[in-house]
């Protein structure tokens, strides 16, 4: 039977050199937090850098933010030398793969962004991927010294599945609610305006912009513009101009 509580104490010995610990803190905690806050075009439009026409991956923002939060939380627990488990190792490995995929997707934009001084942030997922992978593998190695390999594999797999299922399920739920709300607005039902005002940071509002651009009826056009401004706090004309730049 599998152990009900697959946790082991990490002990008092250092996890790595002082330089390595600082690398973990910077690459796995500080830089990911900075990227979320200062993100100019990936998942949101940052006020720090103005409107650059993004975001590129807004429909995945809930998934991404939850993955980042889970990965950073797992790393923080590991660095505090709390009891470690294969489940925690699986969570860290998911964080490593997520960071690697994100870095690969953003690589062309990071190279272009170097010209305006912010592209360096686009390379931080690769450092984060290394930090999470190293911590995850170290956690699994620790567990293998006290547990059977079968137990480690099962609990690590559970960690992987839960770390993926929670963000994916949350993203699907938000997209479903937001898309249905946008459809109601396009049909002339403004009852969803309040909900979209809450979810606009994660909702794809481009259908409203498309409808506004193609609409010939001036009264309907004005209604769409008013609804968009109520949802986002931004004039739809300004958003169209930003996308055209």
The 3-state DSSP class for residue 117 equals coil
**CB-based burial of residue 212 (10 Å sphere; 0-12 exposed, 13-18 middle, 19+ buried)?**
buried
Rg over CA atoms, the chain: 22
| Predicted local confidence at residue 53, as pLDDT | 52
**Positions in the chain whose pLDDT score sits under 70:** 1-20, 45-54, 113, 115-119, 243-245
**Can you read off the two tokens belonging to residue 10?**
């990490």
Q: Which residues contact 151 (CB under 8 A, 6 or more apart)?
A: 2, 3, 6, 86
Helix H or strand E encompassing 141? helix 124-144
Give the pLDDT of residue 18: 56
pLDDT at position 3 is 47
Render pLDDT for 12-43 as a digit per residue (tens, 0 to 9): 455 555 566 889 999 999 999 998 888 877 88
Q: How far apart are CA 62 and CA 89, in angstroms?
A: 23
pTM listed for this prediction? 0.84
pLDDT of residue 112: 76
- Coil vs helix vs strand at 84: strand
Given this model, what pLDDT does residue 242 score? 72
Distance (Å, rounded) from C-alpha 47 to C-alpha 44?
10
CA angle 98, 40, 108 (to 5 degrees): 60
> How many CB atoms lie under 10 A from the CB of residue 196?
24
């Amino acid at each position: 039977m599998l152990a009900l509580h697959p946790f082991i104490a990490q002990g008092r010995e250092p996890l790595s050199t002082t330089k390595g610990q600082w690398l973990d803190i910077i690459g796995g905690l500080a830089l990911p937090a900075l990227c979320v806050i200062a993100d100019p075009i990936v998942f949101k439009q940052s006020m720090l850098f103005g409107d650059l026409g993004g975001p590129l991956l807004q429909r995945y923002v809930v998934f991404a933010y939850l993955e980042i939060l889970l990965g950073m939380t797992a790393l923080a627990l590991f660095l505090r030398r709390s009891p470690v488990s294969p489940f925690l190792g699986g969570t860290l490995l998911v964080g490593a793969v997520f960071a690697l995929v994100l870095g690969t997707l953003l690589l062309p934009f990071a190279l272009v962004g170097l010209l305006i001084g912010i592209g360096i942030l686009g390379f931080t997922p690769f450092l984060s991927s290394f930090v999470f992978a190293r911590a995850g593998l170290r956690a699994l190695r620790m567990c293998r010294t006290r547990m059977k390999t079968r137990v480690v594999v099962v609990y690590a797999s559970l960690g992987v599945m839960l770390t993926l299922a929670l963000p994916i399920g949350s993203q699907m739920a938000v997209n479903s609610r937001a898309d249905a709300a946008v459809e109601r607005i396009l049909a002339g039902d403004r009852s969803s305006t309040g909900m979209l005002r809450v979810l606009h940071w994660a909702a794809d509002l481009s259908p409203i912009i498309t409808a506004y651009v193609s609409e010939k009826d001036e009264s309907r056009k004005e209604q769409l513009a008013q609804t968009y401004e109520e949802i986002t706090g931004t004039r739809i004309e300004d958003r169209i101009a930003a996308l055209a730049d």
